[in-house]
């Protein structure tokens, strides 16, 4: 978490052990403060001089005893105290699901992990625009390099492991949920193989939240009690088309723009009705979010201008969204009518 206060040239005393205080020091320095350190209540070698009267004391909760008398003296002298959380444990990796890209769909766990990180490796689909507000960590974009080449998966894993082994608390921020087509399992395995402690914070997957952004519920009573999430990265096999068409529930496809023609044709060959409603939701929760609704038989033409990132939804639930939208529009029209009648 970055500070929202301008402390330019203000003397700030950060108290707490070096390890626990390392992120608070970064936060106060980033806010422009002149940072002084007290790493034990009696001071320790390397702490340097102390200010005569600090503007603020940032007291990092390092779990050690003996800080209270100092804090009491500050209170008596009228020096404000900000209680700061201790930095995350160094030498570990946290895989964080960042949700579909909206700040308010980050979990509390994700926000805390970002706050406690020293380094964050993120990619394009994570909510990276918000990162500078959420963390004082070093930010590394592994989605693309200056030459627009993606960093290879094995290199990402090596970067994460090396950063943890050199004493950083590492966050790997991923779009949606780390375990849904996110290669999260491979990254956990790489950490485990290197003996680096690792944990995973689940995120809000785009498979459910992006249809929701377009008003589409993936299940709906008496309409669909199954939803299947499929990767469209490579075309499906004929057998898979047959099984999907036979299930009779909602089909949600991620990474499906490139293989949409094969999917639509395959499902039709497998017997799915060409009139089955279908939606393409592009850029969910982001500027330019757009929903294209057509039918299995017409989607290829209707979605010709669609691009990634997008989620495809095939099933009767698409009509639920349309019905709700029409209902909402009709009620809005009725209220407008009522208002104009009242005015008249």
Q: Which of 95, 306, 284, 289 is nearest to 180 (CA)?
A: 95
Pick the binder of ligand SAH from 161, 180, 267, 320 (CB under 6 A). Answer: 180
144, 150, 162, 273: the catalytic one is 144
Point out which residues pair with 323 in neighbouring strands: none
Tell me if 291 contacts ligand SAH by CB under 6 A.
no
Reported residue count of the chain is 344
Q: Which is nearer to ligand SAH, 284 or 315 (CB)?
A: 284
Integer angstrom CA distances of residue 237 from 118, 181, 232, 257, 262: 44, 18, 11, 17, 10
Select the residue whose beta carbon is closest to ligand SAH and give its number: 176
278 is known as an active-site residue: no
CB-neighbour burial class of residue 218 (10 A; exposed 0-12, middle 13-18, buried 19+): buried
Pick the binder of ligand SAH from 311, 314, 318, 321 (CB under 6 A). Answer: 311
Pick the binder of ligand SAH from 16, 88, 176, 315 (CB under 6 A). Answer: 176
123, 174, 272, 276: the catalytic one is 123
Tally Cβ neighbours within 10 Å of residue 121.
27
Torsion of CA 133, 135, 137, 143, to 10 degrees: -70
Pick the binder of ligand SAH from 205, 250, 259, 291 (CB under 6 A). Answer: 205
255 is known as an active-site residue: yes
Pick the binder of ligand SAH from 254, 276, 279, 313 (CB under 6 A). Answer: 254
- 141-170: which residues touch ligand SAH (CB under 6 A)? none
Give the Cα separation of 139 and 160 in Å (integer). Answer: 12
Residues forming the active site: 123, 144, 255
Question: Under the rule (CB under 6 A), what is the footprint of ligand SAH?
Answer: 100-101, 125, 174-177, 180-182, 205-207, 210, 254-255, 283-286, 308-311
């Amino acid at each position: 978490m970055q500070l929202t206060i301008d402390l330019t040239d203000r003397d700030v005393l950060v108290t707490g052990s070096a390890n626990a205080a390392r992120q608070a020091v970064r936060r106060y320095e980033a806010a422009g403060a002149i940072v002084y350190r007290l790493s034990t209540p009696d001071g320790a070698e390397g702490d340097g001089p102390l200010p005569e009267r600090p503007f603020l004391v940032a007291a990092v909760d390092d779990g050690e005893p003996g800080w209270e008398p100092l804090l009491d003296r500050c209170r008596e002298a009228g020096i404000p105290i900000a209680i700061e959380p201790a930095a995350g444990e160094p030498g570990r990796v946290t895989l964080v699901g960042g949700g579909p890209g909206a700040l308010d769909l980050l979990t509390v766990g994700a926000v805390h992990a970002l706050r406690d990180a020293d380094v964050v490796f993120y990619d394009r689909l994570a909510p990276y625009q918000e990162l500078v507000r959420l963390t004082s960590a070093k930010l590394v974009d592994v989605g693309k390099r200056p030459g627009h080449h993606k960093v290879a998966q094995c290199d990402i894993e090596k970067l994460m492991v090396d950063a943890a082994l050199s004493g950083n608390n590492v966050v790997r921020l991923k779009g949606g949920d780390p375990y849904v087509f996110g290669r999260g399992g491979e990254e956990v395995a790489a950490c485990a193989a290197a003996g680096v402690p690792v944990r995973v914070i689940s995120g809000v997957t785009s498979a459910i939240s992006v249809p929701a952004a377009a008003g589409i519920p993936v299940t709906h009573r008496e309409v669909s009690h199954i939803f299947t999430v499929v990767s469209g990265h490579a075309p499906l096999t004929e057998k898979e088309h047959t099984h999907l068409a036979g299930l009779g529930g909602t089909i949600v496809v991620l990474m499906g723009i490139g293989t949409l023609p094969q999917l639509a044709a395959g499902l039709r060959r497998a017997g799915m009705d060409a009139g089955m409603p279908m939606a393409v939701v592009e850029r969910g929760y982001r500027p330019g979010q757009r929903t294209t609704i057509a039918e299995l038989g017409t989607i290829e033409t209707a979605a010709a201008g669609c691009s990634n990132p997008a989620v495809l939804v095939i099933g009767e639930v698409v009509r639920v969204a349309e019905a709700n939208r029409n209902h909402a529009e009709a009620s809005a029209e009725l209220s407008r009518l009522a208002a104009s009648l009242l005015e008249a």
